[in-house]
Amino acid sequence: MSASPKKCKVGFLWDYSMETFNFGKSHPVRVGRFQMVRDFIEQVELLTAENISILKPEPLSESLLERIHAPEYLDEVRRISRTGEGEIDIDTPGFRGIYENALITTGATVTGVKAILSGEVDHFYSPTGGFHHAKYAWGGGFCVFNDIAAAIYELKSQGFSRVLVLDLDVHHGNGTQEYFYNDPDVMIISFHEDPEWLYPHDGFITDIGSDEGLGLNINMPFPMDSGDAVYRYAFDNLIPSLVEFFEPDFIFLLPGYDAHYRDSMSHLTLTTDIIRYTSKWIHQAAHKWSQGKLGVISGGGYHPEAFLWCAGTVLSVISRTDYQPPSQEPPFEDDDETWNIVKRNVSRVQELVFPILGLEK
């Protein structure tokens, strides 16, 4: 794989309007989350790098919003936003202004896409986004509007026809899968914890797309306690072949911060070492196949320190600047049972998907 340029222009999406939300003090997504990332990357001198600039997010346009969500659902979100009464779902409380805040946090991803297409930046990094649980007529899983769907529709309107979503968030992106399950223009690869144990309890190996999209929806579940070694094995045995087949013209990466061993919202045991490995690979892949067009959206991550370490790691990779997180010691290494399950799952993905795409194991 060819190396990326020495320095890439990276746009960091940031504005104080991202913080205009209030899910409640006990909710995992708390006020100050995005400010915390902005302050951290300034503290470790990433924000002052000459090739990293701040992009101000623009609200998602009404026309794009109405393309990705049902009128009835939008009316309900507007009602909740106006009155402050009701909820998007049991895990996603409503509040006054939720509609406007969701337009900004979702619009940040589309703003980043437009900045890449205009040549202003090579890549963008958003501390928010990755609202992959939101569906056409439903929100939940902390997600109101699906920014990935909106960004892909924006790209399609500009003539893009091979969009890759590498979703490494520990929770399966059930909403994004639903949008593009039969779409030949979109490949979604999701690495996530076994749906038997974790929300949203779907994303099975056998869910491989349908019709013209058959073989382009790839789900790789991991058993509890999976760590860096088995994760890298699965990545190396699946991702290169799939990406090389698809030759994407735009790539979205959800880096999977919530799979970190210090995150209490899941049961995997990854460190920033594998975060660096996967983001470095996909960064180089973007320069090989997509002319550098890469958008990174944070998605989950609910341990404050681990979230910041991961953010610093990924931003440093795509900007080719220096940052080294603290050394980390997961509680245990991958055991024989974990290895056996992961190897079996990788083989099953290959058996189901590779023949459809004309690939060899």
Beta bridge partners of residue 187, listed in sequence order? 164
Active site residue 133: yes
- Per annotation, catalytic residue among 133, 172, 260, 283: 133
Question: Is beta strand 87-89 parallel, antiparallel or unpaired with respect to 92-93?
Answer: antiparallel
How many CB atoms sit inside 10 A of residue 71's CB?
Answer: 9
Residue 352 near residue 242 (C-beta atoms within 8 A): no
Residue 310 near residue 318 (C-beta atoms within 8 A): no
Residue matched to tokens 């996909």: 282
Show Cβ contacts of residue 305 under 8 Å, excluding neighbours closer than 6 positions: 262
Burial class (CB in 10 A: 0-12, 13-18, 19+), 315: buried
Residue 198: left if φ>0, alpha if ψ -120 to 50, beta else—which one?
A: beta
Selection from 228, 249, 227, 231 nearest residue 239 by Cα: 231
Residues designated catalytic: 133
